[in-house]
Structure 1
Amino acid sequence: MSRPRAFAAIINENNILMTKHVYPDGEFWTLPGGGLEADETFEDAVVREVKEEVNLDVEVVDYLFTGQYSGGEEQCFLVRQMNHQEPILGCDPEYGESQTLSEVRWHSLESMKDDLHVSKVLEALKIVV
């Protein structure tokens, strides 16, 4: 099944916000984001997903890049926090009781520079770490 997804690069000084997902066969850190709902734009989806996953109100600043994943097209956006709240772990409404989100944390750009998506964010923003 094809399901486009949108995800956010939220950068604060030299840190990037990431969420940890835990599955029965492994765990990983990734940028906040998820699948588009019916008739939703990528921009609307990224704002909604950030609110759901890390409880932050954001606005889209810039489109960064498009990629492909197993479910189809994915787009990444640079977003800016609308207030000075600290991120708080939210949930993914699609998963109900079987949440995969387990943690939200700021990571240094240096420590995540080899992550697939973070490396593309750094490239798009011409940031050298």
Structure 2
Amino acid sequence: MELRPRVCAAIIRDEKILMVFQDHPLENRSFWTLPGGGVEAGETNEEAVIREVKEEVCLNGKAERLLFEAEYSLGPDYCYLVTVDAKEEAHLGVDPELSADEQVLKGIAWFTLEEKKNDLQVSRVIACL
């Protein structure tokens, strides 16, 4: 299998972190995760994380700094602290690589850092803040 780096965004507002709900019925799994996805050819990690934020939660962001690097099944996973305009509201976006009936993004929500302190990604974010 080809290695594909991925990125994710920690978007924090008022001690809350924005997460997306993914439902993968064919794999019989669903979960909350940070907005993110694969880095495309010719794209920097920072460009990728800003694109993913726009696609998944419809926000314009700025990658402030790398928080941590982890591994996932296809390679490295980079998590960035991303700031967004406080006046912008997040909305559920789409995965442009999937057709309308194949979409796995099913919801978005702001969770307090305390609520998600035991989530693997969020616990790493908290440790880096």
Q: How do 1:4-83 and structure 2 match up within 5 A?
A: 4-24=5-25, 25-83=28-86
Offset at residue 82 of structure 1 (A)? 3.1
1:81-116 Cα deviation digits (max 9, x unpaired): 035111000001111220000001101111100111
CA distance in 1, matches of 2:79, 2:87: 22
CA distance in 2, matches of 1:11, 1:96: 30
Out of 37-46 and 80-89, give the one that drifted further: 80-89
**Amino acid corresponding to residue 80 of structure 2 in structure 1:** F
CA distance in 2, matches of 1:47, 1:96: 22
- Provide the aligned C-alpha RMSD in A: 0.8
**Amino acid corresponding to residue 59 of structure 1 in structure 2:** K
Identify which of 77, 96, 99 aligns with 1:96: 99
CA distance in 2, matches of 1:120, 1:39: 28
The answer for the alignment partner of 1:120 in structure 2 is: 124
Offset at residue 13 of structure 1 (A)? 1.1
4+ runs deviating over 6 angstroms: none
Structure 1 vs Structure 2: percent identity of aligned residues? 48
